[in-house]
Amino acid sequence: MPDKRLSFKEMCAEYDVTPRTLRYYEYIELLHPDREGRSRWYGSRERARMTLILRGRKFGFQLEDIRQWLLIYEHEGTTAQMQAWIILADSQLTELAEQRTQLDEAIDSLKRLRDQTAATLKTESPER
């Protein structure tokens, strides 16, 4: 059975991305659709790559890291790509944990300042 291909518009709808995003992913060589005249067609390879790109973005990976990781598969195969993924994932987990710590500290500071401000308002007499 032939591979179902998606048009540019269908690809945008399927992955809930803007045309600008899809064109940018092509520009930075994350995606390589088939071209027929002015039309672009996305087969199973491009759809799989898009799934991986969006998953990587969800986890906070930079597009260049994703691009390099996808290239590993093309040049070195699945095993090398999986090994690289583990290294990238470990690094990203460390980064996300640091971000979580910073966010927790910012939330705590903001709550304290908010509570201090609310307490100050309660002790002051209303000005008119």
Q: 99: which 2 tokens?
A: 């971000």
Span 107-126, average pLDDT = 92
Name the CATH topology of 1-58: Multidrug-efflux Transporter Regulator; Chain: A; Domain 2 (1.10.1660)
Report CA torsion sign: 11, 15, 18, 22: negative
The residue type at 116: Q
Tell me the CB-side half-sphere exposure of residue 89, using CA atoms within 13 A. Answer: 7
Q: Where are the domains of the chain?
A: 1-58, 77-123
Q: What is the model's pLDDT at position 127?
A: 64
* Partners of 7 in beta bridges: 41
Termini Cα distance of the chain: 79
Span 104-125, average pLDDT = 94
**In this predicted model, what pLDDT tens digit does every residue of 29-41 receive, in sequence order?**
999 999 999 999 9
**In this predicted model, what pLDDT tens digit does every residue of 54-102 receive, in sequence order?**
999 999 999 999 999 898 988 898 899 899 999 999 999 999 999 999 9
Q: Tell me what the pLDDT averaged over the chain comes to.
A: 92
Contacts of 39 (CB under 8 A, 6+ apart): 7, 8
